Amino acid sequence: MSIPADVIRLPARESRLAGIRRIRVGEYPVIPILILAVIAFLAVFANQLAPHDPEVGILSARFHPPFWQAGGSTEYLLGTDQLGRDVLSRLIFGARISMVVGFTAVIFAGFVGTVLGIVSGYLGGWVDQLVMRLTDTWLALPALTFAIFLAAIVGPSMWNIVIILGAVYWTRYARVIRGEVLSLKEREFVRLAIVAGCSKWTIMRRHILPNVVNTAIVLGTLMLGVVIVAEASLSFLGVGVPPPEPAWGLMLADGKEGLMVGYWWLTVFPGGCIMLMVLAANLLGDWLRVKLDPQLRQL
């Protein structure tokens, strides 16, 4: 009697792709992917797509309304701001900032959090105690306030914001990943690897890491929305991306000036863009969570 081939396949190798394979064509969440794809497209081709310079305006063309309102023109489709800059062009370039900050901060936080979570969970002992107490303490700090504090120290710039958001949000990964690792390290395949004489480092890299990647991806997608809102909030408060860069949060802060006299387009459009992107990230995250890791449904 022959043994079926898949019975003797190593579990660690299998699970690296098992989650991805379960996804079948026709079940994709079309709307969120479409929204993110459009924003990514705008971000990549901002130079070609934007009709005007996003940072230089014409003062004589201040506060033009969108083209369908009285006084608007097709020259400035979505109107102009207090310095006569084209809102549409700023939105398009703003997509670039949100995309870059959002993704790099999530990846940075995910990298730090996953590494610390694996090391802390697998090694245990005083390393675990140290990392977890630090995680608890940092989780106790209100995220936005902590980010503002860090931004006040290092000063505003786009890359500083990425580092700050990474430094604030890695704790969420570390917590969840550590929990996963604690149960993984009791599993047979890890014990077998220990018996086979693998070093701790090899086990963490070859056997534990592939099994927590799915979780990290799900967390990352869910964090994307949080990070984008955080970046917008920091920029809105003046400690995020510095002017005259066209960050959406900064546009909202600038738009406050015209809000009281009814220049609604300076508030509605940038905020709408933030909402769409966060909504898409959340929808995608929820879908991935169910698809990749049914155990995480309770998260």
Partner 1 sequence: MKRFIARRVGYALLSLFLLSLTIFFFVRVTGDPAALLVEPGASPGDIAAIHHQFGLDRPLLVQYWLFLVALFHGDLGQSFYYQVPVMGLYLSRLGNSLILASVAMLFSLAIGIPAGILASVQVGRFWDQFGKLFTLLGLSMPSFWIGLLMILLFSVYLGWLPSSGAGSGWQLCLPFTSICGSGEPTHIIMPAFALGWYFAAAHMRLTRSSMLEVLGSEYIKLARIKGLPQILVIAKHAFKNALIPVLTLAGINLVLMVNVAVVVETVFAWPGIGRLLYEGITFRDFPIVQGVVIMGGAMIVIVNLLIDIVYAVIDPRIRLGN
Q: Which residues bind partner 1 (CB under 8 A)?
A: 133-134, 136-138, 140-146, 148-150, 152-154, 225, 229, 232-233, 236-239, 252, 255-256, 259-262, 264, 267-268, 271, 274-275, 278-279, 282-283
d(CA 22, CA 15): 11
- Angle made by CA atoms 123, 18, 112, in degrees to the nearest 5: 35
Min dist CB 266 to partner 1, Å, is 10
d(CA 11, CA 16): 9
Min dist CB 12 to partner 1, Å, is 33
Residue 173 vs 265, nearer CB to partner 1: 265
Min dist CB 278 to partner 1, Å, is 4
Min dist CB 283 to partner 1, Å, is 7
Please report, in angstroms and rounded to a whole number, the separation of the first and last CA atoms in the chain: 44
Residue 54 vs 255, nearer CB to partner 1: 255
Number of Cα atoms under 13 Å in the Cβ half of residue 16:
11
d(CA 57, CA 275): 26
Residue 19 vs 258, nearer CB to partner 1: 258
d(CA 288, CA 26): 14
Residue 140 vs 196, nearer CB to partner 1: 140
DSSP state string for 11-52: HHHHHHHHHHHH--TT-S-HHHHHHHHHHHHHHHTHHHH-SS
Min dist CB 56 to partner 1, Å, is 26
Min dist CB 55 to partner 1, Å, is 22
Residue 19 vs 102, nearer CB to partner 1: 102
Residue 93 vs 287, nearer CB to partner 1: 287
Contact 90, 98 (CB under 8 A): no
